[in-house]
């Protein structure tokens, strides 16, 4: 069984917060389809768009790489790079803890 110290628990919580923050940023800044390639969101509700951004954020974090849409704009790609760097820093801290 994996024993999680309070530091490791905090790191896991930080990764979840990074995902949620990035999801909100994706949703607010890149709400329209101009920033995404492969997302068919014609007629999508606000919740469906939020869900798509949350799904994308989790797939980026898990490095599964199975996403239906990819960022097309420089703004979205920049946010993705920041998210990946933040999560990687947390993974390194988790491994060192």
Rounded Cα distance, 95 and 75, in Å:
31
- The pTM of this model reads 0.81
Rounded Cα distance, 32 and 18, in Å:
22
The length of the chain, given as a count of residues: 97
Q: Distances from the Cα of 65 to the Cαs of 2, 31, 32, 62, in angstroms?
A: 26, 21, 22, 8
* pLDDT per residue rounded down to tens, the chain (97 residues): 566 778 888 998 999 999 999 999 988 887 777 788 887 788 888 898 888 888 888 888 887 666 677 888 898 889 989 999 999 999 899 888 8
Q: Which domains does the chain have, with CATH numbers?
A: 6-96 (1.10.287.70)
Rounded Cα distance, 35 and 9, in Å:
34
Contact predicate 35/75, CB 8 Å: yes
């Amino acid at each position: 069984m994996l024993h999680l110290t309070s530091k490791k628990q905090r790191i896991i919580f930080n990764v979840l917060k990074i995902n949620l923050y990035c999801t909100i940023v994706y949703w607010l800044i890149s709400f329209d389809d101009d920033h995404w390639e492969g997302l068919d969101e014609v007629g999508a509700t606000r919740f469906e768009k939020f869900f798509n951004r949350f799904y994308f954020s989790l797939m980026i974090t898990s490095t599964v790489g199975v996403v239906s849409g990819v960022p097309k704009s420089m703004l979205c790609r920049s946010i993705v790079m920041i998210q990946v760097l933040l999560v990687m820093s947390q993974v390194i801290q988790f491994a060192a803890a």
